[in-house]
Amino acid sequence: MMTVKYRIECFECDIVVRQKDEAHTLSIQSRKTPLGNGNRLAEYASEQEAVHAADQLCQSYTIAREFGYHLSGGEFVRDGVPSIEVVSLLNQELDASDLKSLLNREAIKHGIQQTG
């Protein structure tokens, strides 16, 4: 059985860390369809790593929204630019300033007006 160890509300979804045996799973779940376990994004060896990733995901999502992205499955999506895989972004451990720079570069590279 999976046990919820951490939950954070982030816009229209919940970011959840669940533990099963020794694994800690990071998932994102829409509040519109709260039944089920949501979209599984990554697995971590420790609760601390998973909670850090959950907090980082909400911060990244907040910034991505400022730049016109929305969350679809496990990707940040914006018309006119390639989608960004959430897990790949989390693995980069970017701070807020670095993420804003990355999203701004993507907008410029693809000739899109940045909104953040």
72, 30 in Cβ contact below 8 A?
A: no
Q: What are the tens digits of pLDDT across the range 78-91?
A: 999 999 999 999 99
Domain membership of residue 116 (yes or no) is no
Locate tokens 């897990």: which residue? 87
Q: Count how many domains the chain has.
A: 1
Domain membership of residue 90 (yes or no) is yes
Task: Give the integer Cα–Cα distance in Å for 45 and 73.
Answer: 23
Range of the domain at 29: 3-109
Q: What are the tens digits of pLDDT across the range 58-113?
A: 999 999 999 999 999 899 999 999 999 999 999 999 999 999 999 999 999 998 86
Nearest Cα residue to 59 out of 15, 6, 113: 15
Sheet with 70-72, side-by-side order of all strands: 70-72, 75-78, 81-85
Over 60: is that where the pLDDT of 116 sits?
Answer: no
Domain membership of residue 49 (yes or no) is yes
The two beta strands, 75-78 and 70-72, are: antiparallel
Domain membership of residue 114 (yes or no) is no
Domain membership of residue 39 (yes or no) is yes
Domain membership of residue 16 (yes or no) is yes
